[in-house]
Amino acid sequence: MPSQQPILEVRDLTVEYDTGSSPVVAVDSVDLDVHAGEFVGVVGESGCGKSTLLFAIVQLLSPPAAITGGSVHFQGQDLVAMNEKKLAALRWRDYSVVMQSAMNALNPVKSIGSQFRDAIMSHDERVDDDRPAEVMRMVGIDPIHLRSYPHQLSGGMRQRAMIAMALLFTPDMIIMDEPTSALDVVAQRSLMVQIKELQQQLGFAVVFVTHDMSLVSHFSDQLMVMYAGQVVEFGATRAVFDHPAHPYSKGLLDAFPSIRGPKQPLTGIPGTPPNLAHPPSGCRFHPRCPVAFEDCPKIEPELYQVGPTQARCLLHAPGRTQPAEPVQEVTS
């Protein structure tokens, strides 16, 4: 069970890309709490700010992206104000990151074992000599592959090797940016099961970014849905799946087949996420929303409490009632 005090507290975090003309707000005033041992899924289409949010949390943004507002506290320490030396002392040891493509993240001209040693040598703490072999076994890879180079491993093994590297110091939190996106569905499922088992065994928290709602459905405790740089829904994963309060969350859910219940036609979401240099007025989802009404292009919604979840939709604003019919036709 998660403890009371979050290990990660993100408040009002805003990230902008300096484009030379008007800045592009890629992450807009995001709040997030992650407790010890908790698994938080972050979902949304490509370009909705998920990966930028993760990179901002772990202070790995590079220009032209920059944090322009808000705070990130990890175990009570302000990461935004921290210098590189102190951040380097936390990385791998207290939190680690598993990148989207292991082939790009791993050094192609160094063996896996050599890269593990680099991570270990970057800290003063002693690590048992057999720890690299131990973490390789944990993720189901024969330690003999510590001698292998990344190109000698399959895509699934490379991702597992990245996760093994992230476990070297048994950190309190692991940030994962679409770690299964390059894998086939069978390898995806197997890796997710393994991540969950390791999490339960070792007790670390996970923040897991994906564009695949179905992937996190069985694994995450909390679910954050992002659209156009904003959090549009947040709550317990089961609550969001059972009763999505935001039309975008519902659209994402309707885009994936359910393995239970009667067969339903897959509908998808018409259109594409907006250009964040010129986001739509009012609710950013209104050009694609099947239930948009006349206030939607005029009023910017806040996150409203909707039962156990929060949703950024005017339908849930205090005192509002849902119109019987949508007033706007949505085209794909």
Say whether residue 206 binds ligand SF4 (CB under 6 A).
no
**Per rule CB under 6 A, is residue 106 in the interface with ligand SF4?**
no
CB of 322 to ligand SF4, least distance (A): 8
Tell me if 228 contacts ligand SF4 by CB under 6 A.
no
Residue among 95 and 293 whose Cβ is closer to ligand SF4:
293
What lies within 8 Å, CB to CB, of 7 at 6+ separation is 34, 35, 36, 74, 75, 172, 173, 205
* Binds ligand SF4 (CB under 6 A): choice among 286, 303, 304, 309: 286
In the list 116, 234, 285, 304, the residue contacting ligand SF4 (rule: CB under 6 A) is: 285
* Peptide bond between residue 274 and the one before it cis (omega within 30 degrees of 0): no
| Out of 296, 304, 306, 310, the residue judged to bind ligand SF4 by CB under 6 A | 296
Output phi, psi for 160, to 5 deg. -65, -40
User: Where does this chain touch ligand SF4 (CB under 6 A) — which range of 1-9, 83-91, 104-112, 289-297?
Assistant: 289-297
Separation between Cα atoms, residue 84 and residue 90, nearest integer Å: 10
Residue 231 as a binder of ligand SF4 (CB under 6 A): the answer is no
> Shortest gap between Cβ of 290 and ligand SF4 (angstroms)?
8
Smallest gap from residue 272 Cβ to ligand SF4 (A): 16
8 A C-beta contact, residue 225 and residue 300: no
Determine if 247 is a binding residue for ligand SF4 (CB under 6 A). Answer: yes
Q: Which residues pair with 106 in a beta bridge?
A: none
Burial of residue 73 (CB within 10 Å: 0-12, 13-18, 19+) is middle
Q: At what angle do helices 185-202 and 155-166 cross, to 10 degrees?
A: 10
Tokens of 50: 């998920």
Residue number, 72 or 296, with CB nearest to ligand SF4: 296
Please tell me whether residue 315 binds ligand SF4 under the rule CB under 6 A: yes
Q: Is 98 one of the binding residues for ligand SF4 (CB under 6 A)?
A: no
136 vs 66: CA distance, rounded Å: 35
**Cα–Cα distance for residue pair 139/102, rounded to 1 Å:** 15
Considering the rule CB under 6 A, would residue 314 count as an interface residue with ligand SF4? yes
Give yes or no for residue 291 binding ligand SF4 (CB under 6 A): yes
The contact set with ligand SF4 (CB under 6 A) reads 246-247, 283, 285-286, 289, 291-292, 296, 301, 313-315
